[in-house]
Amino acid sequence: MRDLTAGMRYLGRGQRWVFGHGRWFGFGLLPALVALVLYVAALTALAFYADDIAAWATPFADGWDGLWRDSLRVLFAVLLWLGALLVSVLTFTAATLVIGDPFYEKLSEQVEESEGGAPSGPDRPMWAEVWISLRDSLYVLWRMLLFTVPLFFLGFLPAIGQTVVPALGFAVSGFFLTLELVSVAMQRRGIPVRERLRILRTRKALALGFGVPLVLAFLVPLVAVVLMPGAVAGAALLVRDLTDDGGPGDEQDPASGRFGDEPPRTHAQTHAQAHGQAQPSAQPHAQPQHPAQAPGFSAPKPQAPDPRSQWGSPR
């Protein structure tokens, strides 16, 4: 339950962030607007040619009575358009992320910078970033269809199809929508799409708390366009929790500017590091190690013993 409400809080924090930074909100609207125009144009063209497509797909009805033939083809055209609308809803986020990859990468990075620092992403040309984003989106869509197609047919069952199946459908859509949105920040960290899926599986409630409200909101026309910038911003904040970047107890390393690269130090370890002594192990039952063998130390060159020092520390 805690993870479920935490996911909702991340979504709310992302929306507050973009509305508090109007320039970045407008910047993040552009890809969603472009995707919306393309989808509306495609659905309009499909509606215009739906009758011709229905006639081409049902040649066996040419010899039927006019009423039955026209009824069949009208039903076919309506179902075809509704199916295209469903596919549009399922793929809108993925298409928007592919179209707006450079935009959302900058937006996500700016959000993380405002929270204390963003990891430096891999140095790749723009075409490579777009190709990776497209490939990952197709993988996510394929995995989502493995669930949504069976749920579509189960929806025809009495009682269950009108109660349990819709709830499962929203949960599946919310989970995979979260997977799509966190891809921007996780791709910057070099996390492959299969590893992203594994990470979200360990925090299902967090992913559902973030994604399911978005799925419900996206059912309202044009709301997806308005909420997309905040969704990307909230996903960047969520990734910082999933990858322990900037989480509780983490401190920024001034030398590298990265978060969460190593576990928090104990007071004894911090004191030992400040005085050049061997750091005690963080594990209570760990065997003592020679400083040259301890993690983080490089073996010193052999030197003559210095009677004034012990382990390299002044007496």
Is a pLDDT exceeding 50 seen at residue 124?
A: yes
Domain of 18, in residue numbers = 2-43+99-242
Cβ neighbours of 287 (radius 10 Å): 6
- Is position 183 within any domain? yes
Write out pLDDT tens, residues 163-205.
888 889 889 988 998 998 998 889 888 888 899 999 999 999 9
- Is position 107 within any domain? yes
Helix axes 101-114, 223-242, angle to 10 degrees: 50
- Is position 267 within any domain? no
- Is position 311 within any domain? no
Structure pTM?
Answer: 0.65
pLDDT value of position 244:
67
Of 61, 83, 81, give the one whose Cα is nearest residue 71: 61
Please report which residue ranges of the chain form alpha helices under DSSP H.
Answer: 2-20, 22-57, 66-99, 101-114, 126-154, 160-188, 193-202, 204-218, 223-242, 267-274
Write out pLDDT tens, residues 7-25.
899 999 999 999 998 888 8
Tally of structural domains, the chain: 1
Contact 118, 112 (CB under 8 A): yes
118-132, 160-174, 274-288: which has the minimum mean pLDDT?
Answer: 274-288
If one compares 306 and 197, the residue with the highest pLDDT of the two is: 197
Contact 213, 8 (CB under 8 A): yes
- Is position 94 within any domain? no
Contacts (Cβ under 8 Å, ≥6 apart) of 175: 200, 204, 207, 208, 211
- Is position 155 within any domain? yes
Is a pLDDT exceeding 80 seen at residue 259?
A: no
Report residue 91: phi and psi, to 5°: -105, 0
* Chain position carrying tokens 């999933």: 242
